[in-house]
Structure 1
Amino acid sequence: MFASWKSTLLQSLLLASSSLAFENPIRAPAPDPSLVTADGVYYLTSTSYDKITIVRSQTLNGLIDGEQRTIWTDTNTTRNANMWAPELHQIDNVWYMFYSSCDSAQPCCDSCSTRVLRGCDSAGPYDCEFEHLADLIPPEGQRGGRDDNFAFSIDGTFLQVPGFGRYHVLSIRDKEFNQALAITTLDTDEWTVGAWHVISIPDQPWERNVTGAASIPQADLVGVNEAPHPLVHGDDLWLCYSGSNCGTPNYSLGLLHWNGGDPLLPSSWDKTGPVFAQANGLYGTAHNSFFTSPDGTEIWNAFHATKQAGGSCGGDRFTSAHIVTFDENNVPSFGEPRPIGEVQVPPSGEQA
């Protein structure tokens, strides 16, 4: 036992002295993170409200004070407020930025819609000059809300389903005015979308949990499904998403597992959750993205959290990272959030 203790201590000391070891948070403030790796470099974007930025670093630990560039500002008042949840995606070798924003001349948030910027075909997105490409809103009568004409939408992501095609997945209001997950076909030649189809509503207790909230959200904001992001491992595909309101400590991650059916049908998605929730002094541990280790052998979860025990939707949220593992049946395990400042082994293949 003594030898084992000495070995563990030695490993901890070596890890702490390594330039590649990292501690959470990896970036602060940084809510709604989207983290990707390309050619051994990490690129992180997150909500900055009045602009969109990208931070880059060769190490996860280096993102805390990494090189940052503003890649998008907007003078168009119909879309230059509340720039939320930017996401980086490389499609046909071109970098795109999916995001949502609102009309600065109107109160938040009914005017918010999902949009996409086009970058370039470079190895990484940092040096791209981005331009507004499209607002990803379907025709009237094919949207959300009680009359299928409510254009509110946030947290858009890109999804490719083998044998079916390309989709845009997002959070909208359904006919009961739940904040729900919806999916639509995405034409990446014309950059248009079809009708929104709701595939998940907040119908589970963990998706409507206000226990411990600093302030109780208004009634139509209690139940939440938002922030979808694809997870692919082997032959399995999931949509990870966030349930419960961000202003509670219970903001957590759930999974929709695709069972092989038509992606536009709710019956094609099997729900489980929560799979990742508050622990070790981190609250509201959700709104995530997935990234691969530099050598491509591991999948990691980048998520935001807050130290506020009552939860938070504000600028005090930070980005942390945790490895995702898979069992013999290819079921993902997210573990639990590690304490702030705990020294951790970096992603495989990382080089300073």
Structure 2
Amino acid sequence: MKNSPSIRIKRVPLIRLHWFTKLNMKIHQEDPIFKKAQESRRSRINFYFNFASKLARQFRFILLENGKVAGSLSIERRKRSFFVYAVGVTKEYRRKGYGTILMNFTEDFARKKKKNFICFSVLLANEPAVKMYDKLNYQSQGVGLTLVRLFLWKIKPLIENPELTEKISFRKLSNLKEIEEIAYFWWAKEIESFAGNDAKSISTEDSILDLDLRIDWPTFEIKTNGNQAGLMIIIPSDFFQTAVLFSDPKSTWSKEWLYKLLNYITKQKIVHVKNTQNKDSSTIKLDKSSVLQLFLTHQHKDNLVSNLDSSIVIHDSTEDRQIFFKKID
């Protein structure tokens, strides 16, 4: 589709950040992440300021049709790439090819700024967007973190004493730099396995995996039979026990190995610091009504779901995202 005379893309100055942030939140209100941010006034305010602070550090554009706002684009500058942080078209202007116009503009802008790649994450449930990126020759890195939830009262009888032929061990880590290095090591292996060296290099060199780790989150290196097998990060929460899991993309978890891992997570007594200034804290007690949340890649999600009964695992596919990229000539 050619740009008609009524279509114009205009850069948004920093002084209009508040307006631009509200516009993007309106456009993306169907996104589960944005929906979750609206659950309480406190979370809405925190999300808004966090979102706005990221937009402030980026290139911001709007697409105008006959002078009216039809879409928006926010681009984050990386070492070798542009990361499309937010792109969208307002509801009344969809299905007119404006998403394609914005992505073509992004590619031209990347060439102008001498960037080699364009990257972004997309909800897989957003089928029109996925089809558009496929037509524009974007490739999936083959990975993306997704969320599964497990009812403890259902899995506890299964995981109490798993018979395990493999020896699984956990080493607690306390050095934040080491934790980040191990996380990127496994993430890079995942990407190389599914999408090749180009995807691996931009993901590691340009920090495509946005890790926001804290030293007070219990983190463990996982070993199987003495060999490195993955990394587990436990995130304190008032309502859930939440773990992020990185692992070898070629590994196939046996049911017994998985039970041992889940058993170890459930036995951790996690101190949740509510206020870092006042040092208020509480110990999370997991009871039979608790829910265990796991963040892991799509491939390992499939492995977990295949090993556990469907009545135990809850997986909301609307939260599935993958990272896409394209090499710019």
TM-score by length of 2: 0.26
Bigger relative contact order, structure 1 or 2, given CA contacts below 8 A and separation 6+?
A: 2
**Which structure carries more strand by proportion?**
1
- If each structure's helix is expressed as a fraction of its own residues, which one has the higher value? 2
